[in-house]
Amino acid sequence: MTDTAPDIDEIARLAEAARDTLPAPFAGLAREVRLVVEDWPSPELLDEMDIPDAHDLTGLYEGVPLTERSADWPDPPSTVTLFRQPILDELATRDNVTLADLVTHVMVHEFAHHFGWSDEEIARIDPWWE
């Protein structure tokens, strides 16, 4: 038997399982968001975000945060994208962290942006990357 890295479907399964555990009122609001898993961020995205190393982007929220929407906002659904390879590479550098834990952390961080939290607010609540 050979060990293989978790594929996109496995990362998506873990992310969906994590979304299913979000407490109310976040659970319902999180259901509105498309959840996508890709192997890597595109070079264009990295350039746009001024990120020199693809390994530094494990997830991305794209959309308008709930705190910035009006009641009649004609916005398409927001999207959270998780990047499989950067997540796996981050996992390889951490002791005592499971893949499910890391996927959950990245997913929750990106959903926090959907709820209107800034990176600074998230970091005050969740010091994971320290």
Query: pLDDT (tens digit, 9 = 90+) per residue, 12-36?
Result: 999 999 999 888 888 888 888 999 9
Confidence of residue 45 (pLDDT cuts 50, 70, 90): very high
Q: Which domains does the chain carry?
A: 8-67+76-125 (3.30.2010.20)
Tell me what percent of the residues of the chain surpass a pLDDT of 70: 91
Report how far apart, in Å, the C-alpha atoms of 80 and of each of 32, 75, 106, 107 are.
11, 15, 10, 8
pLDDT reported for residue 99: 95
Q: State pTM to two decimals.
A: 0.86
Which pair of tokens denotes residue 128? 């994971």
CB 86 within 8 A of CB 60: no
Structure tokens at 103: 């996927």
Instruction: Summarize the confidence of residues 108-118 as an average pLDDT.
Output: 86
